[in-house]
Amino acid sequence: MAVISEETIDYVSILAKLELSPEEKEQAGRDMGRLLEYIDKLAELDTGNVEPLSHVLPLENVFREDVVTNGDESSMILDNAPEQRDNMFSVPRTF
Amino acid sequence: MTKEFETVIGLEVHVELATATKIFCGCSTAFGGRPNSHTCPVCTGMPGTLPVLNRRVLEHAVAVGLAANCEITRHSQFDRKNYFYPDNPQNYQISQLYLPICRDGYVEIDTPEGEKRIGIHEIHMEEDAGKLIHDEWEEGTLVDYNRSGVPLIEIVSEPDMRNAGEVIAFLEKLRLIIQYLGASDCKLQEGSMRADVNLSVREKGAAPGTRTEMKNLSSFRAITKAIESERERQIDLICAGGAVTQETRRWDEAKGTSFSMRSKEDARDYRYFPDPDLPPVHISDEMLEEIRSRLPEFRTEKMRRYREEYDIPEYDIEIITGSKHMADLFEATVALGSQPKKVSNWLMVETLRLLKEKELDPEDIRFSPSHLAALIDLVEKRTINFTVAKEIFEVMFEEDVDPERYVEEKGLKMVSDQDALRKVVEEVIASNPQSVEDYRGGKERALGYLVGQTMKAMKGKADPACAGRLLKELL
Amino acid sequence: MDLLSLTAVELGTAIQQGQTTAREAIEAVLKQIDKTEEILHCYISIDRKKALEEAEGVQRKIEAGELSGPLAGVPAAVKDNLCTEGMLTTCASRMLGNFVPGYSAEAVLNLKRAGAVLVGKTNMDEFAMGSTTETSAFGPTRNPRDPERVPGGSSGGSAAAVAAGECFFALGSDTGGSIRQPAAYCGVVGIKPTYGTVSRYGLVAYGSSLDQVGPLGRTVEDCAVVLEAIATHDRKDSTSLAREDTDFSSALEENVKGMRIGIPRDYFGPGLNGEVKSAVLAAAKRLAAEGAWVEEFDLGLTEYAVPAYYTIASAEASSNLERFDGVKYGYRAEGGGSLHEMYKKTRSQGFGPEVKRRIMLGSFVLSAGYYDAYYRKALRVKAMIRRAFDEAFARYDCILGPVTPDTAPRLGESLADPLKMYLGDIYTIAANLAGLPAISLPCGKNGAGLPIGLQLTGDCFQEKKLIRAAYTYEQAVKKGGQTGDEGI
């Protein structure tokens, strides 16, 4: 059974912003290997002449008009903030 | 080393579109307001919320594409660009990668070697990020999402530019086109136009080298300096036997140098995929024609028309049409009945002088056409003299005051009472015997001095021509 | 009157006729909750005070003649991934353990407009990822038919609450079978409508191109009436459709004469439990007896639906769940550190193992070098599956099959082998990939007394055909008593 390498797991966890313990990494490598092996089943199908279908409905051109509909909702917006100051969300420094 | 290097430059230009609301929600795009006062669950990435495209954004993007000779993508879609950063509330930006709305265009710029065509690879629509503010109290960062979701177009040029001069010419040309369209005010300082510079060097005739991307360039000056600096850095690296790393660098204007923005947390793998929340956009023939029919008169056509309609010098035409705002102002003032030549004079002399003095762009002009027309009228009717008019103009330039009202309030009307003027002139003659003598002795210049004295005594409210005539008469 | 023995529509009618009140209805439900909730754990949160107030308000409106309709005053439950203004909305995750939205999902607003009284928010698999309701951060829900077994998932709390009389109907969400499968395990009815029929605004997204909100109820009629109430065109959801045929209750007729029903042979292979198989085939026979024209056919591509689904759903989920980062709402890990440390700690502590597994898989299939081989490949297979259904619906009005390969498993049996669990979705997933409507309804029980589900899948916008067929079958069973295969 295919096992995904630790490097790949490390790389994907950077993308996904997840921190995995050594055991979790090992488990993730096995799980992902098994799932990908299963997903590889799709390769059996010849899809050469098939366009990828992202939107299942034939919908297009859904617009809104350029009219302001929202007022100052900042108290509701900030209501759930883990940390805030001066009506802003507070995060560890980025500068 | 006698190697000769060529610089290859491409640009990614972000332009904030002039819409009333954000790209995917009904929040205002107005500047200012307290932090997060222009936000809603959609533009702050609240769970379960969904985007709906602002029709104006699409119309602006297509119009810019048409003006830049692009092919319009009839079946376009939005993609998600995934990366974690707190200014981006969903941790993905809705943008366009696979099917950008416009492709394969160009604009023409003037270079010392003649006209040059700069290719436009693509134009795509996307959403702007929020603002990060350094929190001095807590050594942290504060996030304001007022700008989050403000509509942008990103114009990606081909790597067709070879020096800073061409880059500036390209940006100025783009800015003019977009301003003419009314799609944006394109102000670099305020960030409504932002240019990232992709630059590589190569030995003449060789294959292109590795490029870097430079960000945080907020003026033409910074762009010019950054290009120079990055070109030298890359040449030094290569000449020292090193290699240029493909990376993003941040320009530090104060230090006059750039820094790598690389970090190990930054995998630069954006995992783009079509946004399932936004159905595709289909530009039909009718939509395209509708947008095309609304395109304004661009500069070349405008210049041609000015030559035919207005008797003003070619130089004036070039300056006035060089700014959509100035051209609009000119035409609106003329439409109110002012003489084109007079309007043009006010714009070319006093307006340009004040703009230069105050380091402003023509787009920053705030006075209204009706007030300029009124001022011209006041001079025309000899209600005020030109010196007073210039003073009023300065106030008008700052505060857009109504000149008629201003003249009234400040009592600046010329004294038309001939008796009063005669009395002052007599006084001036009496108190300046030397000048009177000089004039009578044939020194024409002395008359000018006496006129000046008269104007001074009248606190500027006299017609100097009138005063001169009277002086001559009495002498 | 034993209120709990009534269907939602019967209760609503009784309230309209003044035979009972909204207050009595909510009290009956709360009393039942007192009896069974401790064991079953259908709900994550229940707001009794608010529910009673709401019932009083609705009753006043009914009496003032301002509110009529079959759902006015009827106690309802809502899956905890649908936002409810001022009420905790957790998605059964530690990540949103304290999240109180300032807005409501459009489907919830529609229920309120219809006068339904919200009992509480139901348990589910974390972020709707799971088939058993065991991945909930707040502990599993138990199946009211057998508390040693799972209720299914991810809308397990909603299905169990309906089955246990802890509400009269419930809303769930269905991304790969999450309404239909728990409905089958708990012996209730569930509908996954055509994609775009119910607004997704306020539904916390899992796989955006697959997610649909739908009803769970005791009868086909209840589900049709609830779907009619929640199916509206919503300008806040760009994928919401403006349909004019949402009068679903008009399809409640006993008439399948001439209806063409196809049974895919592919669905009856070795993976299917024998008792489930015979119950489903017996149901087909009964529909044939009612005048439907039933035949077997080869649908094709069945085995490719699950791998395509897990690729697409995981990819979308990895992106949809990026917003949970400890900045704007929800959980933030303690302990300071840099921005990226905060992100990683928050997400690693806030998400459970199944969610992390899908985020990892989804991030991988979208990453540089794999996008074409996995994600785009899956979208091409999705197109092929859609085409296979198009061909089938050129010949049949609906497709009949099982909902699940087996009946409800015991608690703790499924999570050990994720792949096996995913394979359990084999019959339900294709409807999500192709955007099709499907209904799950009871068609008997196995020897152990566990409910078996029958699934009818229709072409896009053909909910009425499904409702008509399902209603006909349901009434025929009621009238005709039980056949051996269909159990009780």
> Looking at the partner chain, which of C202, C339, C367 has a beta carbon nearest the beta carbon of B48?
C202
| Residues of chain C with C-beta less than 8 angstroms from the C-beta of B265 | 340
Whether the predicted pLDDT of C482 surpasses 60: no
Which of C380, C390, C423 should one mutate to test binding to chain A, selecting the residue with the greatest count of A CBs within 10 A?
A: C380
Please tell me the predicted confidence (pLDDT) of residue B425. Answer: 83
Please tell me the predicted confidence (pLDDT) of residue B236. Answer: 92
A27-51 pLDDT, tens per residue? Answer: 999 999 999 999 999 999 999 999 9
Whether the predicted pLDDT of C138 surpasses 50: yes
Interface contact B132, partner C, CB < 8 A: no
B48-102 pLDDT, tens per residue? Answer: 999 999 999 999 999 999 999 999 999 999 999 999 999 999 999 999 999 999 9
Largest CA distance in chain B: 93
CA distance B19 to B245: 39
B92-103 pLDDT, tens per residue? Answer: 999 999 999 999
Q: Check CB contact under 8 Å for A91 and B86.
A: yes
Both B321 and B447 in a single domain? no
Interface contact C215, partner A, CB < 8 A: no
- Residue B455, both tokens: 């104007």
CA distance B233 to B224: 14
- Residue C279, both tokens: 């119950």
Both B224 and B319 in a single domain? no
Pair C75, C25: CB distance under 8 Å = yes
Helices assigned H by DSSP within chain A = 6-16, 22-39, 74-78
Pair B80, B187: CB distance under 8 Å = no
| Residues of chain C with C-beta less than 8 angstroms from the C-beta of A35 | 310, 361, 418-419
| Residues of chain C with C-beta less than 8 angstroms from the C-beta of A11 | 367
Domain assignment present for residue B292? The answer is: no
Q: Check CB contact under 8 Å for A74 and B39.
A: yes
CA distance C419 to C408: 17
Q: Which of the pair, B138 or A22, is modelled with greater confidence? A: A22
Beta-carbon-side half-sphere exposure of residue B468 (alpha carbons within 13 Å)? 10
CA distance C323 to B45: 7
Mean pLDDT calculated for residue range B172-196: 92
Q: What does residue C301 show for φ and ψ, rounded to 5 degrees?
A: 65, 5
CA distance B393 to C306: 75
Please tell me the predicted confidence (pLDDT) of residue C488. Answer: 36
Pair B196, B11: CB distance under 8 Å = yes
Domain boundary residue, one of B257, B287, B317: B287
Whether the predicted pLDDT of C292 surpasses 70: yes
Whether the predicted pLDDT of B455 surpasses 70: yes
Q: How far apart are the first and last CA of chain A?
A: 45
Q: Please return the burial class of B411, using the count of CB atoms within 10 Å of its CB with bins 0-12, 13-18 and 19+.
A: exposed
Q: Please return the burial class of B187, using the count of CB atoms within 10 Å of its CB with bins 0-12, 13-18 and 19+.
A: middle
Whether the predicted pLDDT of B475 surpasses 80: no
Q: Which of C258, C264, C263 is nearest to C290 (CA)?
A: C258
Whether the predicted pLDDT of C404 surpasses 80: yes
Whether the predicted pLDDT of C120 surpasses 80: yes
Both B350 and B444 in a single domain? no
- Taking only Cα atoms into account, the Rg of chain A, rounded to an integer number of angstroms, comes to 23
| Residues of chain A with C-beta less than 8 angstroms from the C-beta of C301 | 45
Q: Check CB contact under 8 Å for C347 and A92.
A: no
CA distance C223 to C170: 9
Going by pLDDT thresholds of 50, 70 and 90, the confidence category of residue B416 is low
pTM of the model: 0.91
Please tell me the predicted confidence (pLDDT) of residue C91. Answer: 98
Whether the predicted pLDDT of B134 surpasses 90: no
Percent of chain C's residues with pLDDT above 90: 94
- Residue B363, both tokens: 């787009």
Q: How far is CA C231 from CA B327, B395, C68, C104, in A?
A: 53, 61, 18, 15
Coarse DSSP helix, strand, coil percentages of chain B, rounded to the nearest 5 percent: 40, 20, 40
Both B20 and B41 in a single domain? yes
- Residue B135, both tokens: 């929190």
Catalytic residue among C93, C136, C154, C199: C154
Please tell me the predicted confidence (pLDDT) of residue C487. Answer: 41
Interface contact C473, partner B, CB < 8 A: no
Please tell me the predicted confidence (pLDDT) of residue C485. Answer: 47
CATH fold, domain C1-488, is Amidase signature (AS) enzymes (3.90.1300)
Please tell me the predicted confidence (pLDDT) of residue B265. Answer: 63
Q: How far is CA B189 from CA A31, B33, B168, B193, C436, in A?
A: 51, 19, 15, 8, 52
Please tell me the predicted confidence (pLDDT) of residue B417. Answer: 67
Percent of chain B's residues with pLDDT above 70: 97
Both B428 and B376 in a single domain? no
Whether the predicted pLDDT of B411 surpasses 80: no
> What residue ranges define each of the domains in chain A, with the CATH number in brackets?
6-44 (1.10.20)
CA distance C220 to C470: 7
B307-334 pLDDT, tens per residue? Answer: 999 989 999 999 999 999 999 999 999 9
Both B269 and B303 in a single domain? no
- Catalytic, C154? Answer yes
Going by pLDDT thresholds of 50, 70 and 90, the confidence category of residue C484 is very low
CA distance C485 to chain B (A): 43
Whether the predicted pLDDT of C483 surpasses 60: no
CA distance A78 to chain C (A): 7
Both B210 and B166 in a single domain? yes
> Looking at the partner chain, which of A57, A66, A88 has a beta carbon nearest the beta carbon of B133?
A88
Both B38 and B74 in a single domain? yes
Interface contact A53, partner B, CB < 8 A: no
Number of separate domains in chain B: 3
* Contacts by B324-332, CB closer than 8 A, 24 or more apart: B324/B176, B324/B179, B324/B180, B324/B182, B324/B363, B325/B179, B325/B362, B325/B363, B325/B365, B326/B351, B326/B362, B326/B365, B327/B302, B329/B365, B329/B369, B329/B372, B332/B369
C78 beta partners: C121, C171
Residue bearing tokens 């802003």: A88
- Catalytic, C363? Answer no
3-class DSSP assignment, residue A91: strand
Both B391 and B447 in a single domain? no
Interface contact B29, partner C, CB < 8 A: no
A53-88 pLDDT, tens per residue? Answer: 999 998 999 999 999 999 999 999 999 999 999 999
CA distance B19 to B30: 9
Mean pLDDT calculated for residue range C189-212: 98
In this structure, what DSSP letter does residue C189 have?
E
* 0.90 surpassed by complex ipTM: yes
Question: Chains meeting A at 3+ CB pairs closer than 8 A?
Answer: B, C
| Residues of chain B with C-beta less than 8 angstroms from the C-beta of C319 | 80, 82, 92, 271, 273
Pair C458, C192: CB distance under 8 Å = no
Both B399 and B456 in a single domain? no
CA distance C476 to chain A (A): 35
Q: What does residue C171 show for φ and ψ, rounded to 5 degrees?
A: -100, 140
Concatenate the DSSP letters of all residues of C448-466 into one string.
TS-EEEEEEEE-TT-HHHH
B139-155 pLDDT, tens per residue? Answer: 789 999 999 999 999 99
Whether the predicted pLDDT of B415 surpasses 70: no
B123 beta partners: B102, B155
Domain boundary residue, one of B410, B428, B458: B410
Q: What does residue B120 show for φ and ψ, rounded to 5 degrees?
A: -110, 115
Mean pLDDT calculated for residue range C438-443: 98
CB-based contacts of C304, cutoff 8 Å, min separation 6: A41, A42, A44, A45, C381, C384, C385
CB-based contacts of C60, cutoff 8 Å, min separation 6: none
Quick one: how far is CA C415 from the chain centroid? 20
Catalytic residue among C104, C131, C136, C178: C178
Partner A, chain B 95-114, Cβ-Cβ below 8 Å = none
Going by pLDDT thresholds of 50, 70 and 90, the confidence category of residue B205 is confident
Domain assignment present for residue B86? The answer is: yes
Size of interface B-C (CB pairs under 8 A): 101
CA distance B16 to B146: 14
Domain boundary residue, one of B410, B444, B464: B410
Q: How far is CA C335 from CA A13, A17, B34, C323, C356, in A?
A: 20, 17, 30, 20, 21
CB-based contacts of B227, cutoff 8 Å, min separation 6: B7, B9, B163, B164, B167, B197, B199
- The residue segments making up the domain with residue B252 are 5-287
Q: Check CB contact under 8 Å for C209 and A38.
A: no
> Looking at the partner chain, which of C83, C318, C343 has a beta carbon nearest the beta carbon of B48?
C83
C29-81 pLDDT, tens per residue? Answer: 999 999 999 999 999 999 999 999 999 999 999 999 999 999 999 999 999 99
Interface contact C419, partner A, CB < 8 A: yes
- Catalytic, C178? Answer yes
Mean pLDDT calculated for residue range C330-338: 91
Q: Check CB contact under 8 Å for A32 and C361.
A: yes
Please tell me the predicted confidence (pLDDT) of residue C377. Answer: 97
Whether the predicted pLDDT of B207 surpasses 60: yes
Q: Check CB contact under 8 Å for A68 and B274.
A: no
Question: Chains meeting C at 3+ CB pairs closer than 8 A?
Answer: A, B
B435-445 pLDDT, tens per residue? Answer: 888 888 888 78
Q: Which of C100, C253, C123 is nearest to C186 (CA)?
A: C123
Pair B160, B102: CB distance under 8 Å = no
Residue bearing tokens 């106690």: C75
Pair B18, B184: CB distance under 8 Å = yes
Q: Check CB contact under 8 Å for B271 and C203.
A: no
Both B148 and B176 in a single domain? yes
Quick one: how far is CA C51 from the chain centroid? 23
B219 prior amide bond cis, ω within 30: no
Instruction: Find the closest chain A residue to B86 by CA distance.
Output: A91
